[in-house]
Structure 1
Amino acid sequence: MSTTSAEGATPSGTGRTVQLRRYVLVDGLLDDFTAWWRSRLVPARRAYGFDIEFSYALPETSEFVWAVSLPGDADAFRAVEADYLASPERAAAFDGQPTWTTSQAVALVREVPAA
């Protein structure tokens, strides 16, 4: 898994930090993954206060892209994420699941307004 961070990850004026998550999925698992993600992973994330900003599937390339956010700065985000990563809710969501991804890229991002 590739994980990077961005300084100034809190989008201007929103008071939130956003993390972009990009996965390349094992061929043939996109539909199963999205069903699992929706039913198990989203509730586990929300239990720790994360909001799901968006999610998109790219069927042609077996990719899944989504973003989560929390109020506060990057340090606050990292602290809550550390709790979530060690949580029983996350462990239960992943229990008995196959390896869904062949690669991942995860990074804190900042908004770039179009105008």
Structure 2
Amino acid sequence: MTRTREVRRYRIVDGKMDEFIDAFQRLVVPVRRKIGFEVEAAWCNRESGVFTWISAIDGSIEDYEALDRTYKKARAEYRQKVDEDTTHLHAEYPVTYFVDEEVQLPPDVDVEL
């Protein structure tokens, strides 16, 4: 079976890393898991202000993107219910997909979540 991973990197607003990590753990991870994603890893580098995380599924990139659309709808509904959003805390880097490849932690990891 093919395994597709998505790596996302965010530049976090200065002084907001702890707030972002808290929101990520409360608002992103539970909804991702409920939809069917595995959150394989998450880490930050406080010095550079970069937060990186990897989510994955057993399936193709097309399967991943279809599940991601389902996730985005569920996330919007959940955030509306709890009246909370995280978009003011970061700017997103480009997304990278890896199919059937292991992703290694970089040497500049400050905090692994």
- Report the TM-score, using the length of structure 1 for normalisation: 0.76
Q: Any residues of structure 2 matched to 1:1-115 within 5 Å, and which?
A: 15-87=2-74, 90-91=75-76, 92-93=78-79, 95-98=83-86, 99-110=88-99, 111=101
Which residue type is aligned with residue 108 of structure 1?
Y
Q: CA deviation at 1:105?
A: 2.1
Cα deviation code 1:47-89 (max 9, x no counterpart)? 11100111111100111000000111111111111111122xx
TM-score, with length taken from structure 2: 0.77
Amino acid at match of 2:61: A
Root-mean-square deviation over aligned CA pairs: 2.1
What secondary structure is seen at the aligned counterpart in 2 of 1:56?
strand
> Unaligned regions of 5+ residues in structure 1, if any?
1-13
Identity across the alignment (%): 28
Q: How many residues align?
A: 99
Task: Looking at secondary structure, tell me which structure has more helix per residue.
Answer: 2
Amino acid at match of 1:46: R
Q: Distance in 2 between matches of 1:104 and 1:113?
A: 17
